[in-house]
Amino acid sequence: MTATVSEGVHDTSQIPAPEGSVTVTVKLLRFNPEVDSEPHWESYDVPALPTDRVLNLLFNIKNYVDGTLAFRRSCAHGICGSDAMQINGVNRLACKVLVKDLLAKDGKPTTITIAPIKGLPTMKDLYVDMEPFFEAYRAVKPYLIAYGNEPTRERVQSPADRERFDDTTKCILCAACTSSCPVYWADGSYFGPAAIVNAHRFIFDSRDEGAEERLDILNDAEGVWRCRTTFNCTDACPRGIQITKAIQEVKRALLFKRV
Ligand code: SF4
Ligand code: FES
């Protein structure tokens, strides 16, 4: 969907302005499937403290100006991965971005643009359909696969073996990586970086016996070879996961048939 240029401006005088707040213009890409044929920009002048998160601004707009504004969030503390969105053109979690880091220099007026993440169908405003993302996630079998008899005690692992996949355990499935990937934008059938990260988490786990199955899946035409190493995914990840490195490790495991 392409955004139209029309820009609504709203009365935001009901939003409380705490002492020390500055007014920032929040430009939201809005889309209501019941009335709009295309997304369009709407602007809201919002009082904000430098210590506010972008999520606070969205709540103020929703609570005081337009209750129909749709966006996802749950924990508000960078843990659940619900509120990935494009903030000033880059994928970020709205609950982790502080207003002070977006303020224009020298007291000039600040505009913050917020749009839904790309590559997934927009259902309403900033709220996207995550199902294609989770479908790719499920396809790589993101769970421990172990054959043989149930062990009578826990499956032990050395600290060094645990370290091999430590980075990829940090994923919170926010989709910031996959939805910043140009290969995924061009062809949604690519598994995408998040699915590969979650496959990596089990492929390199010494307790797991499903590496071969997962590598077969990722050797597919829509698999790991589609990655063009643009690093967008690594830049976007709010958990700082070295995604491109993880993808390279999966490629190497496929090439050398060794995990
Ligand atoms: S790898 Fe990072 S950006 Fe991608 S889904 Fe996981 S936490 Fe989000
Ligand atoms: S609301 Fe949970 S990560 Fe932002």
Q: Please give the tally of structural domains in the chain.
A: 2
Domain termination site, one of 71, 102, 127 = 127
Domain that holds residue 230: 130-256
Instruction: Average the pLDDT over 131-142 and give the result.
Output: 98
Q: Among the residues of the chain, which ranges form H helices?
A: 54-64, 131-139, 159-163, 182-186, 193-203, 211-218, 232-236, 243-256
Residues 139, 122 share a domain: no
Domain CATH for 48: 3.10.20.30
58 alpha carbon to ligand 2 midpoint, in Å? Answer: 13
**Quick check: 4 pLDDT over 70?**
no
pTM listed for this prediction: 0.93
Element (H, E) at 49: none
Question: Of the ligands numbered here, which is closest to the C-alpha atom of 82?
Answer: 2
Report the nearest atom of ligand 1 relative to the CA of 243: 1
To the nearest whole number, what is the mean pLDDT of the chain? 95
Report the nearest atom of ligand 2 relative to the CA of 83: 4
The whole-number pLDDT of residue 9 equals: 72
Report the percent of the chain where pLDDT is more than 70.
97
Residue predicted with more confidence, 26 or 2: 26
Tokens 């499956």 label which residue?
155
| pLDDT tens track for 170-214 | 999 999 999 999 999 998 899 999 999 999 999 999 999 999 999
The whole-number pLDDT of residue 5 equals: 46
Report the nearest atom of ligand 2 relative to the CA of 174: 3
**Quick check: 44 pLDDT over 60?**
yes
Report the percent of the chain where pLDDT is more than 90.
91
Instruction: Average the pLDDT over 27-47 and give the result.
Output: 97
Residue 192, by phi and psi: left (phi above 0), alpha (psi -120 to 50) or beta?
left
Residues 146, 45 share a domain: no
C-beta 83 within 6 A of ligand 2: yes
The residue among 21, 22, 27 whose CA lies nearest residue 8 is 27
11 alpha carbon to ligand 1 midpoint, in Å? Answer: 36
